[in-house]
Amino acid sequence: MDHRATRVAIIGGGLGGLTAAIALMKIAGAEVTVFEQARKLAEVGAGVGIAPNGQRGLDRLGLLDEVKLAGAPWDGPGVNLSTDGRPVAEVAWSDSAGRYQSFGIHRADFIDVLRRSIPSDAVRLGHRLASIHALDSSVRLEFENGVNAEFDAVVGADGVHSLVRDSIVQPSAPIYSGSIAYRGVLDASLLPEDWPMRSQVWMGGGKHFMCYPLRQRKLFNYVGFVPSDRPLKESWSAEGDVSELAAEFGGEEWDPRLREFIKLIDKTFWWGLYDREPLANWSRGRVTLLGDAAHTMLPYVGQGVNQAIEDSVSLAIFLREAEGPEGIIDAFKRYTTARLQRTAIMQASSRRSGSQLDSQAEYEDIKKRDADVRAGRDFRRSFFYDYDAAAVAEKTLMRSRNARRALFA
């Protein structure tokens, strides 16, 4: 019997792809190679929130302490504010047990932590995928630089414009949300000494603004979400106009503290906000998807990266049980089944949360909006934050083993 490690190619060296590489090596014992089209592993300056459900996955991989050290703890729950700065509701920031509390981290710092956990020879930079071909017992990859390689399995972690996804399902057009985001980071030393070290979100008519600390509280991440009829390409790197951002939140109805924050910003980037309808399937044969490639979602509930972490741990646990080429196919099917419904609900929740934060048509009654924001806190804690992707995968495998035993008893 062939006991060699399963050879897995991961297409995409972003947060999802690198987390998946670590999970597959540590949990499944796989031999992993990450192919990234860029010449270096990097992220344009912006932050992400690591929620309790994502932290649970990082803890399973032995990465949480290092990620937290590179991030910034919050002094307490985040808060949603009215346009003029009146507190509306505290936001759930911990799981029900109080073991994990949300925190922020710069994307570049997160990449650095992940990169240190992966052998340098396992990452191939400057490799843009050209085509993917399923063979009898392997998958052949062809890259634009002329490199060809075969693997037992392929994971597409290549983001919203995933070429791997297009090899599995019929391509579908991204859906423009009607909004763009201005985002970037601010030197925290410029802020007043009493500036809250936690997440804050100002909610307004058709737009909202959020900020939270990063990098051991030396930086503040900010994002201004505004309506726009000029949809931008989904991008992290299109430079924006700071004066336009300031004008969007410059009216007298906006909290003076927020306006002073924006005056301190000297550089910003545009980001077009798109998602896609949930996919009916993520896997075909020995090829599967992960992260944004599988479930592109709007950022309003801060779950994009956290769902990629869940994907990574779940995938690795299912692949751990695979024996031979057919075992890989079964593992990918189980992984897809385990993840489809949860991520589809997350996609829908992100859309709904955007409507709340922007006080869109269904929330012309501000009291109703505020009540819904407050009511959503317990749901977020129980459904989002208490979820344990590893436990769900292990339980699924246990049920499968018990069913087989009963069948042959």
The answer on pLDDT for 391 being more than 50 is yes
Q: How far is CA 182 from CA 21, 106, 121, 137, 302, in A?
A: 31, 16, 36, 46, 16
Based on the residue annotation, tell me whether 212 is a catalytic residue of this protein.
yes
How much is the pLDDT for 140? 98
Q: Return mean pLDDT, the chain.
A: 91
Q: What separation, in Å, do the N-terminal and C-terminal C-alpha atoms of the chain show? A: 26
Mean pLDDT of 343-359: 88
Task: Kindly report the CATH number assigned to the domain that includes residue 14.
Answer: 3.50.50.60
Residue-wise pLDDT tens digits, 47-86? 999 999 999 999 999 999 999 999 999 999 999 999 999 9
77, 378 Cβ separation under 8 angstroms: no
Choice among 91-95, 122-126, 229-233 with the minimum mean pLDDT: 229-233
Residue-wise pLDDT tens digits, 148-190? 999 999 999 999 889 999 999 987 788 888 899 999 999 999 9
How much is the pLDDT for 296? 94
223 occurs within a structural domain = no
With cut-offs at 50, 70 and 90, classify the pLDDT of residue 308. Answer: very high
Identity of the residue numbered 105: I
Which neighbouring-strand residues pair with 288?
Answer: 155
Residue-wise pLDDT tens digits, 352-367? 888 888 765 555 667 7
| Cα–Cα dist 140/32, whole Å | 15
270 occurs within a structural domain = no
308 occurs within a structural domain = yes
Higher pLDDT: 265 or 370? It is 265
128 occurs within a structural domain = yes
The alpha helices in 249-323, defined as continuous H runs, are 256-263, 292-295, 304-320
| Cα–Cα dist 286/152, whole Å | 7
The answer on pLDDT for 40 being more than 90 is no
Residue-wise pLDDT tens digits, 238-277? 788 999 999 999 999 999 999 999 999 999 998 888 899 9
Q: Are strands 31-36 and 7-11 parallel, antiparallel or unpaired?
A: parallel
Question: Which residue among 100, 176, 182, 212 is the active-site one?
Answer: 212
93 occurs within a structural domain = yes
Could you tell me which residues come within 8 angstroms of residue 62 by beta carbon, excluding any fewer than 6 positions away?
Answer: 26
182 occurs within a structural domain = no
Domain count for the chain: 1
The answer on pLDDT for 115 being more than 90 is yes
The answer on pLDDT for 45 being more than 70 is no
200 occurs within a structural domain = no
The domain in which residue 64 lies consists of 7-173+276-401
How much is the pLDDT for 1? 39
101 occurs within a structural domain = yes
